[in-house]
Structure 1
Amino acid sequence: MMNAKMMNVSETEAVPCAGGCGLFGTRKNNNLCSLCYKESVRKQLAALRLEPETKPSTVCPPTSSPVAAEEPVVIKQRCGKCQRKVGMLGFNCKCGHMFCGSHRYPEEHSCLFDFKQSGRLDLARQLPLIRAEKLQRI
């Protein structure tokens, strides 16, 4: 019983990472830290796949422009009226802008979109005009 307790302690004992990243790993993870262990598992799974890993093709030369190498710039979403950050909770209006919860209604942000005309066009598309033919007089 004492031996089993000692074994659990030695399994969870922190040792320097075998990957050389400077963090501490455990014997349970092959002396790797959590980051290196995840990477090694990914490499093992990629080797076990039936399809080969995708490698950059040699047909097109790589672009040398520094702008293309950088990640795209993330534009922060802000309310069109008060400029408050809205994040994922923003409301898109038919006028094309994004608004916060306070300014989501057309009356609150002086929306220029013509909702009446849009509704009329939708109804005209959904309900075709039905006319009976004229009756011939006898």
Structure 2
Amino acid sequence: MNANETEALLCTGGCGLYGTRKNNNLCSLFYKKSVLQHSPAFRLEPETERSQFCSPTSSPVPVKEEPVGKRRCDVCKRKVGVLGFKCRCGHMFCGSHRYPEEHSCPFDYKQSGRLALATQLPLNRADKLQRF
């Protein structure tokens, strides 16, 4: 491929995404629609459906990227890197604070276990005995 073919150009459909020269300066969504409109034999989806990401009437919306923060223990603020432990309460902890007793975990493990057993085990009840 040449450098011109992989050059990033804004889509001529006005959606704000990037297109390529290979796709007539269209993004992949608009290119797919144009191919489907020109040849009815390749029609895969009805025309009534509209893509929420790429419509000609929508104004281009800039994509906000969240900054990647360093992963730290919620108790001691130590960097945990890839060895951090994610608790069921949704927080990240180091090796010494990973246990629920060490970080005062608000998650109810007993209730969670009871619900898991209730869904996994069938309810077995014997019929009542008839007395003579």
Q: Does 1:103 align with 2:97?
A: yes
Query: Out of 107, 110, 127, which is 1:113 matched to?
Result: 107
CA distance in structure 1 between the partners assigned to 2:74 and 2:100 by the alignment: 12
Misfit runs of 4+, over 6 Å: 52-55
User: What TM-score comes out, normalization by structure 1 length?
Assistant: 0.51
2:15 counterpart residue number: 61
* Greater helix proportion: 1
1:89 counterpart residue number: 83
Q: Percent identity?
A: 60
Structure 2 portions without partners, runs of 5+: 17-58
Contact 2:14–2:60 (8 Å) recurs in 1: no
Q: Structure 1 117/85 Cα, relative in aligned 2: closer, same or farther at 3 Å? A: same
Aligned length in residues: 89
**What is the CA-CA distance between 1:127 and the residue it aligns to?**
0.7
CA distance in structure 2 between the partners assigned to 1:70 and 1:116 by the alignment: 40
Looking at CA atoms only, which structure, 1 or 2, has the larger radius of gyration? 1
**What is the CA-CA distance between 1:84 and the residue it aligns to?**
1.1
Q: 1 or 2 for the larger relative contact order (CA 8 Å, sep ≥6)?
A: 2
Structure 1 portions without partners, runs of 5+: 1-42, 47-51
CA distance in structure 2 between the partners assigned to 1:123 and 1:81 by the alignment: 32
Q: Does 1:77 align with 2:31?
A: no
